[in-house]
Structure 1
Amino acid sequence: MRKNRDVPGTTVTAPDPAPPPARALRLGAIVAISCMAQFMIVLDSTIVTVALPAMRESLRLSAEQQQWVVDSYLVVLGGLLLFAARVGDLVGHRRIFRIGLVVFTLASLAGGLASGGALLIAARAVQGVGAAALAPSSLSLISTTHAEGGRRTKALALWSLAGGAAAAVGVVLGGVLTAELDWRWVLFVNVPIGAALFAASGPVLPGTARHAERGRRLDLPGALLATLGAAILTFGFTRAPIDGWSSAQVLGPLVAAPVLLALFALVETGSASPLVPPSFFRSRRLGVGNAITFCLGATMTAALVMITLYLQQCIGYSALRSGLALVPMTIVLVVGTLLSRPLLSRLGPHPLLAGGGLIAAGGLVWMSYVPTHSAYLPHVLGPTLVTGLGISSMLLAVTVAATAGVDPKNAGVASGLMTTSRQIGGALGLAALTSIADFAARSDRTADPVAAAVHGYQVAFLSNAGIMLLAVFAVLLLPREPRREPRRD
């Protein structure tokens, strides 16, 4: 009998013995492969942003095409995540993971070789298909091979670290590759990584899912409604900064998506093989955990993209210099996530989520004081370090809190829900805060356009702090793990 170090106040009846050396080595390899895949997926969400000006000049992209280079990936990824996650539960996470690797890698190669805007956008959409297969499978492979305990928490810490670090590394690496080589390398970089992961995953990953439900059919009506609802919702939010919130291109999807998602929930309650188990809709833990993940995705994506735009458009930094300016934040995200693991074992997820959210909100408030003539140390380094520290405290905690107690046979769909929440949160947050920045800049009566743009970013950073405070409020609604008495033999 021992205390559960992952959630204070609970006990577990099963021991947590060290696995044999061969099994320990294989588990370590599974974690490494899953983390590298997660890193590659999240990296691709930000690395392209820095290279967009070079892509536009090289391929003569229109403003519409330039935006679709980003949006095509996000829309397809957001729409297919839940569907791909459930397919992984049914046919095996290893199979879906390897299929996703092949699709993502080949699409990255095609995108790097693209000779025109249409080909590049099509390649990015296919990348989204591969990423949708990879993202939930990478987390499910950890959940289904590691029993709850210290080793599983360590594995989840590394997975969360990979995603958190990749978001910041993407900005840095995108600047370096674009400046020193060519924009095509922001896509080519995925090819050797994907090939290496495919070669390594064959002998390492388990041959079948531990809890594959053989003979069970996929809920096709539910899958269609979930995919369309998530894709249309993502499309609406990604178009808002371009077309405006009152345009038909935005209002139509934002009205249709909730209707489709409501129909999806209705279909699931009467399905014999639901895409999402009905118990998920009743689980406060899953609901609140995904709400926090949604806010975290919005804050991280918007903060990284907008500070990069501020540095390039308002301060005059090059793509390389703006990327290097965020290296310290990347280091803090890595170190902070690693340090959060022992704190999680001692304190549980609630203090880390609430405290990290408050710290991140404070960093964003500090960031809202950026001036037109910025000094790096007080106006960029300081607030990005504080924001990164707060976010790093939350990445592992929210993963553990939202997935604790989930039946391994539903690990894929639980992982898919979390990844979907994070991706749609990022798309929504960036769209909303970009619109807020544009509106504030247009409302500024200053004759200087740079000063007006800075004012827009100030308002957006302050609004982003508000999103983080919503996450802190949600932590109050997150149920604590009930105390379980030791079993008497």
Structure 2
Amino acid sequence: MMTADRPGHHDVRHAHDPSQGRVPFRESGEPPALAPRAETRHEHVRGSGAEDRAVLTRGRPAGRRPVSGPTARPGITLATVAVVQFMVSLDLSVVNVGLPQIATGLGFGAVGLTWVIHAYALAFGGLLLLGGKAADRYGRRRVLLLGLGLFGLASLIGGFAQEPGHLVAARAAQGVGAAALAPAALALLTATFPGGRARVRAFGVWSAMNAAGGALGVLIGGLLTEYAGWRWVMFVNVPMAVCALVLAWRGVAAGPPPVRSGRPDVLGAVLATAGMTLLVFGIVRTDQYAWTSPVTLTTLAVAVVLLAAFVHVERTTARDPLIRLGLFANRSVAGANAYNLLVGAAMAAAFYFMSLYLQRVLGTGPALTGLMFLPFALGVVAGSVLAIRLGYRLAPRTLLVFGAALTAAGFAWFGLISPDGAFATDVLGPSVIASVGFGLCLGPLVSTATAGVAAHESGVASGLLNSSRQIGASLGLAALGTVAHNRTGRTATPEALNDGYALGLALSAALLAAAALIALTVLRRTGPPAQTERTDDRDLLPARD
């Protein structure tokens, strides 16, 4: 809506804002006669709650050129984020099946081989919060492009590795790239689809690609390792990174430079990164050093001290904090991250145990093992599609409770595996139930974790969500792996191994039941998207970086 300025007078009507009463008109600070004329328009902005509000915004002064760059298209943004999330999720599992061949090809020792996994986990988990803050401070599109370039280049270099150290360094560089691009991509999705039915659809697509990448990683890794060679578990990321780069370059708007409230909190960034890295480092090395060993206890104690110092710095710093601690007062953010921590722990452990059960107990080869995970991947996609349809009618909290309970039931069934088990009864049946439940909760989880978060903090919220998942996965795999190993004992017969894996899967079900309880008690009751919000993606105003 255009308004004409009359000399010496401004007739500006303020729309009602439930939280502020009115939106102030920011003056230029110059005399009216000298100030450039500007467009004033009303935009309809969807809030995180049931009410929407009209916000009075001021357009660019007349005569100024708009910021150069591609025109934002929500569909292209969604496609970019989907490819990115599939690639990141794929990389978390695609390498695992090829580890024996990697060890043979490059001459890894038993201990050194674990660093093919740990190098990625340390860099990814340790830098996620910093990556999310960088997206908020320096622009989501810019950080996304840099992360994609680094991830693709590291994958290419890793595929040509000639020494163990080369591959470990490439995996660490992949983790750095993933820590930049994962929160930036999710923040872009959150900003582009701020609410309503389009947001339900967007997060449904994101969750389907996220889960499909993780589940198909086992299948793709097995096929590539058996028929093309282990190097292709690294090369497979290159075309996906190039595709996402092209889509982001052409379809994601650059937007104006983000507003920076002060100098960056360097000390907080160092403390958070060092604390998170040491925490993951101490956890992942419990396969070599027991939980009660001096090495593990010292590492975890130093990590706790560093993270406590980080919290103190964030409370007292005069700079732009890495994380505003008031963010945790948002029950949606706190509850969703606690839920995500438990789900991440359960899923990582369950994938690990089922892969070992199929290969070490039932004697299945790598390629066939990957193929047996295909029903799980398809079930997650089906659950994600179902979550989109149910999300129009049910609140996210309801889907989170039901999804976790259904997944827990599937994992409890997994806990009944036997040494002479059959695919239909011990793998396929529980896979269908668990995967559909997992698909139901993925999209609502991300939507809930970013609900009510200010636009300038969406990157931090996205990084926090990814961090909780990564820490949960590391904790779950280490803790449940230790429990399973203790149950198995020193005699690794198929029967003994089966007992250990079954216990680990049963405990994974218990973690998911706890996640359902958190969703039921911590998250607020909210309604489904209003029926009046039947908005096509193209009708949404894409948020700028």
The answer, yes or no, to whether TM exceeds 0.5 is yes
Superposed structure 1 runs of 4+ greater than 4 Å apart: 6-9, 481-484
Task: Please provide the CA RMSD for this pair.
Answer: 2.2
1:208 to partner: Cα distance: 3.1
Say if 2:498 is the partner of 1:454: yes
Q: Deviations over 1:7-63 (max 9, x none)?
A: 999343569xxxxxxx99811001100111111111101000111011111112111
| Corresponding residue of 1:19 | none
- Amino acid across the alignment from 1:458: A
| Corresponding residue of 1:372 | 419
CA distance in 1 between partners of 2:458 and 2:518 (Å): 23
Say if 2:277 is the partner of 1:231: yes
Change (3 A) 1:448 1:66: closer
Q: Deviations over 1:60-80 (max 9, x none)?
A: 211111111001100110000
1:216 to partner: Cα distance: 3.0
Change (3 A) 1:58 1:8: closer
1:440 to partner: Cα distance: 0.6
Confirm or deny: 8 A CA contact 1:311 1:317 kept in the other structure.
Answer: yes
1:477 to partner: Cα distance: 2.7
CA distance in 2 between partners of 1:253 and 1:158 (Å): 39
CA distance in 1 between partners of 2:98 and 2:527 (Å): 51
Confirm or deny: 8 A CA contact 1:333 1:389 kept in the other structure.
Answer: yes
Q: Name stretches of at least 5 consecutive residues in structure 1 with no aligned partner.
A: 1-5, 16-22
CA distance in 2 between partners of 1:479 and 1:368 (Å): 29
Confirm or deny: 8 A CA contact 1:311 1:322 kept in the other structure.
Answer: yes
CA distance in 2 between partners of 1:171 and 1:111 (Å): 19
> Percent same amino acid at aligned positions?
37
Say if 2:306 is the partner of 1:266: no
- Amino acid across the alignment from 1:452: A
- Amino acid across the alignment from 1:278: L
1:241 to partner: Cα distance: 2.1
Say if 2:295 is the partner of 1:249: yes
| Corresponding residue of 1:474 | 518
| Corresponding residue of 1:340 | 387
CA distance in 1 between partners of 2:404 and 2:192 (Å): 31
Deviates more, 1:297-306 or 1:131-140: 297-306
Q: Equivalent residue of 1:274, what SS?
A: coil
Q: 1:32 aligned to 76, 79, 84, which one?
A: 79
Deviates more, 1:136-145 or 1:214-223: 214-223
The alignment's TM-score, normalised by the length of structure 2, stands at 0.82
CA distance in 2 between partners of 1:119 and 1:56 (Å): 13
CA distance in 2 between partners of 1:434 and 1:399 (Å): 27
CA distance in 1 between partners of 2:170 and 2:355 (Å): 25
1:483 to partner: Cα distance: 8.1
Deviates more, 1:157-166 or 1:320-329: 157-166
Q: 2:402 aligned to 320, 345, 355, which one?
A: 355
1:214 to partner: Cα distance: 3.4
| Corresponding residue of 1:440 | 487
- Amino acid across the alignment from 2:413: W
CA distance in 1 between partners of 2:525 and 2:254 (Å): 33
| Corresponding residue of 1:162 | 209
Q: Deviations over 1:252-302 (max 9, x none)?
A: 222222222121111111122111113213222211110001111112211
CA distance in 2 between partners of 1:26 and 1:196 (Å): 16
| Corresponding residue of 2:432 | 385
CA distance in 2 between partners of 1:133 and 1:8 (Å): 26
CA distance in 2 between partners of 1:247 and 1:388 (Å): 37
Q: Deviations over 1:318-358 (max 9, x none)?
A: 00000000111100001111110121221101221111111
Change (3 A) 1:14 1:362: farther
Confirm or deny: 8 A CA contact 2:333 2:451 kept in the other structure.
Answer: no
Confirm or deny: 8 A CA contact 1:8 1:346 kept in the other structure.
Answer: no
Q: Equivalent residue of 1:196, what SS?
A: helix
Please show how residues 72-471 of structure 1 align to structure 2 within 5 Å. 72-208=119-255, 212-214=258-260, 216-272=262-318, 273-442=320-489, 449-471=493-515
Confirm or deny: 8 A CA contact 1:241 1:432 kept in the other structure.
Answer: no
CA distance in 2 between partners of 1:201 and 1:422 (Å): 25
Q: Equivalent residue of 2:522, what SS?
A: coil
Confirm or deny: 8 A CA contact 2:347 2:508 kept in the other structure.
Answer: no
| Corresponding residue of 1:10 | 50
Judging by fraction of residues, say which structure has more helix. 1
Q: Deviations over 1:111-158 (max 9, x none)?
A: 111011111111100110000001100101111222322212211221
Confirm or deny: 8 A CA contact 1:7 1:347 kept in the other structure.
Answer: no
Which entry has the higher C-alpha Rg, 1 or 2?
A: 2
Confirm or deny: 8 A CA contact 1:80 1:129 kept in the other structure.
Answer: yes
Deviates more, 1:150-159 or 1:135-144: 150-159
CA distance in 1 between partners of 2:499 and 2:420 (Å): 12
Change (3 A) 1:51 1:14: farther
1:232 to partner: Cα distance: 0.8
Q: Equivalent residue of 2:253, what SS?
A: coil
Q: Equivalent residue of 2:392, what SS?
A: helix
Change (3 A) 1:262 1:144: same
Q: Equivalent residue of 1:10, what SS?
A: coil
Q: Equivalent residue of 2:489, what SS?
A: helix
| Corresponding residue of 1:20 | none
The alignment's TM-score, normalised by the length of structure 1, stands at 0.92
1:393 to partner: Cα distance: 1.1
Change (3 A) 1:423 1:357: same
Change (3 A) 1:184 1:448: closer
- Amino acid across the alignment from 1:198: L
Confirm or deny: 8 A CA contact 2:71 2:253 kept in the other structure.
Answer: no
CA distance in 1 between partners of 2:114 and 2:525 (Å): 43
Confirm or deny: 8 A CA contact 2:395 2:527 kept in the other structure.
Answer: no
Q: Equivalent residue of 1:346, what SS?
A: coil
**Equivalenced residues, count:** 469
1:247 to partner: Cα distance: 2.2
Confirm or deny: 8 A CA contact 2:92 2:214 kept in the other structure.
Answer: yes
